[in-house]
Every structure is written in C-alpha cells, then in structure tokens.
C-alpha cells in the first residue's frame, strides 16, 4: 500500500507539472486563448438558440420539456469541454508521435507511456466553457424547480466521470489505429464531432439500428442522457447508470488490450 501511494503521488506530481507547463504556454498567446473561449461560447449559445427555435413550435420532444432539454445540452457541454480539456488534443496527436518517431522517446521514459500520451497537454481554456455548461445546468434546474440532493450531485459527478472514461477509452482505441495508418486524426476528430448528436434526448430517436449504435457502440446518447436524467429525476430505474458504469469499465479494458496489441506490432521509427 505505501508503494502504491508513493506511485500515485509521483504521477499526480507529473500531471501537475504538465498542467503548469500548458498554462504557461497558453498565457504566451493570450489573444488566441481568449478568442478560443469566445468561439466556443458562441457555438454553445447557438446550440441553446437552436433548442429555443424547436420549442417555439412544440411543448415537448419525446416527453422532454424545454428546460429538461436545456439541462441535457448543459450536461453535454460540461462533459464535452472537460473531455477536450484533458484528452482530445493529446489523443489526436498520437499519429504525429508515431510518424515523427517521438513515441520511441516516450517508450524509454520510466513512466507509463499511455499516461504520458494522454495527459501531455492541458487545454485550460476549455475549463471556462465547461463551467458555462455547468451554469446552464444550474439555471435549467432552477427553471424546473428541481433541487438535487447531495447524493444526486455525487451521483452526477460519478456518472460524468464514467462518461469521460468512456469517451477517453474509445478515442484512445481509435487513435491506436495510427500504428497501421500513420495518420488517423480524421477518425479521432470524427468521433469528437459526434458529440453534436448527444444534445437531444435518446427517446427522440426511433428505436432501431441508429439509436442502438449511438447508445451502445458509440455511446454518445448514453453518456449525455444519464447525467441529465439523474438531475432531472427522470431515472425510473438504476439500469441506465449501471449500464454507463459497466460501459466505462468495458471500454477501458478494450482500449488497454488494443493498446498493448498495437505496441507489439509497432515498428520503431529508428528501425
């Protein structure tokens, strides 16, 4: 146990150092930093405006009221921006590490290589956009006259972390295709763009292949809907959040197995 705690502190220290370096780097380009926040905020505003247009013609979408869907959009924004903060840039860069041979150097470091690849860069600007999503969640709850209990807020944090784990594992798995294709940024960013699907309730999509794929194969709907349902008190049974937790574990295991398989078939750039 003491050895594990020492290892954990070591990795947390490395992560903190990488975060400080990313922050210093971002502050060297303050205008770009602020513009990125503004652009993301405008895009988020357009999503909310789109929902306003939809509810100008109807009272409900698949049984979801206007403010319940706004809550869902806020949850999706919160998860998406946190995911971008920690992982998207890093995972999309894996193909460049392979192509340029930089991965060889990372493999020689006395630190877990997957850890280094995953957290090398920290996109601090997206934290502000994640907080915007959380603010919209709080406002929507006020409009719905819902006051989640402390246990529900803890549950919300847990399912959001599970959702982040699902997205991270699946994008990491897709990024590992770079070991064969060299360039796989299109696949990785294609997955990220699917977040747009998650701003609508799963019930809005007809039952069939499409809904099944985006719930269980590329689980955009599962990840965004469960936190929103939890806060909106729409969870009729624990099945949804149990499914999300199980999905998080299964996706991480699958990504780790594929990562190890990919490394066994990796031909060093110096070979």
**DSSP assignment of the chain:** -HHHHHHHHHHHHHHHHHHHHHHHHHHTTHHHHHHHHHHHHHHHHHHHHHHHHHTTS-SEETTEEHHHHHHHHHHHHHHHHHHIIIIIHHHHTHHHHHHHTHHHHHHTSSS-HHHHHHHS---THHHHHHHHHHHHHHHHHHHHT----HHHHHHHHHHHHHHHHHHHHHHHHHHTTHHHHS--HHHHHHHHHGGGGGGS-GGGSPTTHHHHIIIIIS-HHHHHHHHHHHHHT--SSTHHHHHHHHHHHHHHHHHHHHHHHHHHTPPPTT-
d(CA 80, CA 255): 20
What was the pLDDT predicted at 140? Answer: 96
Q: How many CB atoms lie within 10 A of CB 213?
A: 13
What was the pLDDT predicted at 269? Answer: 59
What was the pLDDT predicted at 196? Answer: 80
Are 143 and 55 in contact, with CB atoms under 8 Å apart? Answer: no
- Whether pLDDT at 239 is above 70: yes
Lowest mean pLDDT among 11-20, 22-31, 52-61, 169-178: 22-31
What was the pLDDT predicted at 57? Answer: 85
Are 258 and 178 in contact, with CB atoms under 8 Å apart? Answer: no
Tens-digit pLDDT profile for residues 32-88: 778 878 888 888 988 889 888 888 888 888 889 999 999 999 999 999 999 999 999
What was the pLDDT predicted at 227? Answer: 95
Q: Which range, 17-31, 92-106, 152-166, is most confident?
A: 152-166
- Whether pLDDT at 271 is above 70: no
Tens-digit pLDDT profile for residues 134-186: 999 999 999 999 999 999 999 999 999 999 999 999 999 999 998 888 777 77
- Whether pLDDT at 31 is above 80: no
Lowest mean pLDDT among 7-11, 154-158, 209-213, 267-271: 267-271
Structure confidence at residue 270 as a pLDDT band (50, 70, 90): low
d(CA 210, CA 113): 36
Please name every residue paired with 103 in a beta bridge, in sequence order, or none if there are none. Answer: none
Structure confidence at residue 28 as a pLDDT band (50, 70, 90): confident
Closest CA to 229 of 213, 240, 218: 240
Q: Cα-Cα-Cα-Cα dihedral of 224, 230, 231, 234, to 10°? A: 100
Tens-digit pLDDT profile for residues 172-223: 999 999 888 877 777 888 888 888 888 888 888 888 888 888 888 889 999 9
What was the pLDDT predicted at 69? Answer: 93
d(CA 53, CA 64): 15
The mean predicted confidence, pLDDT, of the chain is 88
- Whether pLDDT at 91 is above 80: yes
What was the pLDDT predicted at 253? Answer: 97
Closest CA to 245 of 159, 170, 154, 155: 159
Contacts (Cβ under 8 Å, ≥6 apart) of 73 = 47, 48, 51, 136, 199
Domain boundaries, the chain: 2-264
- Whether pLDDT at 124 is above 80: yes
Write out the two tokens for 228.
């929103």
What was the pLDDT predicted at 248? Answer: 96
What was the pLDDT predicted at 240? Answer: 87
């Amino acid at each position: 146990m003491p050895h594990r705690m020492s290892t954990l502190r070591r990795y947390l220290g490395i992560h903190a150092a990488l975060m400080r370096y990313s922050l210093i780097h971002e502050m060297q380009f303050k205008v770009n930093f602020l513009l990125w926040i503004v652009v993301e905020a405008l895009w988020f505003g357009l999503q909310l405006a789109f929902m306003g247009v939809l509810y100008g013609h109807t009272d409900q979408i698949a049984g979801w009221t206007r403010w319940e869907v706004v809550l869902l959009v806020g949850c999706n924004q919160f998860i998406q921006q946190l995911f971008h903060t920690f992982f998207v840039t890093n995972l999309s860069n894996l193909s460049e590490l392979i192509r340029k041979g930089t991965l060889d150097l990372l493999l020689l470091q006395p630190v877990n290589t997957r850890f280094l690849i995953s957290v090398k860069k920290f996109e601090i600007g997206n934290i502000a956009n994640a907080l915007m999503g959380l603010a919209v969640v709080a406002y929507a709850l006020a409009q719905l006259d819902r006051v989640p209990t402390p246990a529900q807020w803890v549950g919300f944090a847990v399912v959001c972390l599970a959702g982040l784990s699902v997205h991270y594992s699946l994008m990491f798995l897709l990024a590992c295709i770079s070991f064969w294709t060299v360039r796989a940024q299109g696949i990785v960013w294609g997955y990220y763009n699917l977040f747009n699907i998650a701003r609508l309730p799963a019930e809005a999509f007809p039952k069939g292949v499409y809904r099944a794929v985006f719930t269980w194969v590329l689980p955009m709907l599962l990840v965004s809907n469960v936190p929103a349902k939890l806060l909106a008190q729409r969870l009729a049974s624990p099945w949804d959040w149990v499914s999300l937790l199980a999905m998080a574990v299964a996706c991480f295991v699958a990504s780790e197995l594929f990562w190890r398989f990919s490394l066994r078939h990796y031909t060093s750039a110096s070979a």
